[in-house]
Amino acid sequence: MIGEEAMINYENFLKVGEKAGPKCKQFFAAKVFAKLLHTDSYGRISIMQFFNYVMRKVWLHQTRIGLSLYDVAGQGYLRESDLENYILELIPTLPQLDGLEKSFYSFYVCTAVRKFFFFLDPLRTGKIKIQDILACSFLDDLLELRDEELSKESQETNWFSAPSALRVYGQYLNLDKDHNGMLSKEELSRYGTATMTNVFLDRVFQECLTYDGEMDYKTYLDFVLALENRKEPAALQYIFKLLDIENKGYLNVFSLNYFFRAIQELMKIHGQDPVSFQDVKDEIFDMVKPKDPLKISLQDLINSNQGDTVTTILIDLNGFWTYENREALVANDNENSADLDDT
């Protein structure tokens, strides 16, 4: 034992393998032992870590078989309708979704499937590899809903939980003022803190799939996933396409100015002192450090790890204000925590 953890050496590991029988033989291999061997000076591995490794392997194998049953074409891919069927039939096996009304199932399935396709099908081919589904963490999140004791915090941060799906759908219904099941540009403008610029919203409706100039729930889900995950490459790709007004594959001073002018106008309307574009442009280029000093590519944005900040500055007055006043806000937070300490 090391503290609470039971350990096993290679010799005994092989003995257990023999006793476990032929079905388990593949797990008692030298390469599995080596993979789990870390820094133990006696060359032992943790039994619990080995157990978890086997469980994970078996789970992946079972899930691959489960997903393959829905692969109608037998090509190792799932189309949107295939994944919808998989998730619909999964719902009754997830205790955390017991409370969902049957009438909400179709909206739940749409909400869940959208996350897979938004992140795993960046080229919008309409299908995703089963291998990619298994490799990402989304299935783990989805199957976490088997846990009847899942904490409130875990439910709130899990896109697939009932509270999360109801939150996203509830926001959509609240925005839909004329109750026609679709969102106009004017209705979408009240999203979040209602401080996104008109110029950005125009681009959303130009580039995204709409019906008679209005957005349906599926298109809205892409929009939400992009804005709630701005550090992720797929989300940055979505927003970058909207910012790249000339469709050149990069952002230049013209496109940055085009979007920031709208922020300046909103600042005037709200009685805030306007900020010089020149200063903001320099800050953006300093943050991103693009390969070409005059152009920012999507890859530059992703590599800089500042993509979420840059996009926020250009599309949302509230986001820009928070960025501009970040030092004052940090100081304020520190003061508040100091006050709490005193009390």
Do 175 and 124 touch, CB atoms closer than 8 A? Answer: no
Do 20 and 29 touch, CB atoms closer than 8 A? Answer: no
Pick the closest to residue 234 from 122, 115, 94 (CA basis). 122
259 CB-contact burial (10 Å; exposed 0-12 / middle 13-18 / buried 19+): buried
pLDDT of residue 148: 86
pTM exceeding the 0.85 threshold for the entire prediction: no
C-alpha 211/C-alpha 10 separation (Å) is 63
Tokens of 307: 């993509």
Answer positive or negative: Cα dihedral of 291, 292, 294, 296.
negative
C-alpha 240/C-alpha 237 separation (Å) is 5
Average pLDDT over residues 159-182: 95
Reported residue count of the chain is 343
pLDDT of residue 332: 61
CA gyration radius, the chain: 25
- Alpha-carbon 221 to chain mean position: 12
Kindly indicate the confidence band of residue 228, based on its pLDDT and cuts at 50, 70 and 90. very high
> Average pLDDT over the chain, rounded to whole?
91
Convert the pLDDT of each residue in 229-286 to its tens digit. 999 999 999 999 999 999 999 999 999 999 999 999 999 998 888 889 999 999 999 9
Q: Which domains does the chain have, with CATH numbers?
A: 1-69 (no CATH), 72-174 (1.10.238.220), 177-329 (1.10.238.10)
Bridge partners of 211?
Answer: 214
Do 191 and 175 touch, CB atoms closer than 8 A? Answer: yes
pLDDT of residue 171: 96
Do 96 and 164 touch, CB atoms closer than 8 A? Answer: no
Convert the pLDDT of each residue in 54-111 to its tens digit. 988 888 888 899 999 999 889 999 999 999 999 999 999 999 999 899 999 999 999 9
Share of the chain above pLDDT 70, in %: 95
- For residue 328, pLDDT over 80 is answered with no
C-alpha 310/C-alpha 241 separation (Å) is 14
Tokens of 245: 């007004």
C-alpha 162/C-alpha 155 separation (Å) is 8
Place of tokens 């953006």: 284
pLDDT of residue 235: 96
C-alpha 211/C-alpha 91 separation (Å) is 30
Do 178 and 186 touch, CB atoms closer than 8 A? Answer: no
Planar angle of CA 174, 155, 193, nearest 5 degrees: 35
pLDDT of residue 273: 85
pLDDT of residue 150: 85
The half-sphere exposure of 154 on its side-chain side, counting CA atoms within 13 A, is 13
263 CB-contact burial (10 Å; exposed 0-12 / middle 13-18 / buried 19+): buried
Strands, DSSP E only, in 11-106? 45-46, 77-79
Average pLDDT over residues 303-319: 93
pLDDT of residue 164: 95
C-alpha 251/C-alpha 297 separation (Å) is 6
Do 313 and 320 touch, CB atoms closer than 8 A? Answer: yes
- For residue 343, pLDDT over 70 is answered with no
- Alpha-carbon 12 to chain mean position: 43
pLDDT of residue 81: 95
pLDDT of residue 108: 97
Convert the pLDDT of each residue in 107-153 to its tens digit. 999 999 999 999 999 888 999 999 999 998 898 899 889 888 888 88
pLDDT of residue 341: 56
Q: Residue 98, SS3?
A: coil
- Distances, alpha carbon 145 to alpha carbons 118, 152, 306, in Å: 21, 12, 33
